[in-house]
Amino acid sequence: MYGGLAVAIASAAERYVRPRIKKDKASGMTEKAIRESLSRMDGHASYNRARILANCFKHAEGKVTEDYITASSDGLSLGDEVDFMKEDWPQLIDNTQRLIISLIRTP
């Protein structure tokens, strides 16, 4: 259930993140500059966490991936089960919503 919630959160944000990346690329920004710009936006960390959790759920049968290990410090190893219930879901939702609002408001 919570893996599906991660997918819903991440996909809701990606509806706005992807066009922003496309626009920034068209304006000549480098990949690195785009990543840095997005990572400074309010709520990006929660969106990124939801995206990583969603990928664990969708592509690794709910198990820890390399991306998860890189982004987390919870001591899990590759292939361990992700404990989706321990996440602060209200915070992930609220913060990702802030990112979406920022992307909508930023020209």
pLDDT digits (tens, 9 = 90+) for 30-69: 999 999 999 999 999 999 999 999 999 999 999 999 999 9
Pair 51, 72: CB distance under 8 Å: no
- Sequence-distant (6+) residues with CB within 8 A of 25 are 31, 34
pTM over 0.85: yes
> Tens digits of per-residue pLDDT, 10-30?
999 999 999 999 999 999 999
- What does the alpha-carbon distance between residue 96 and residue 107 come to, in Å, rounded to a whole number? 18
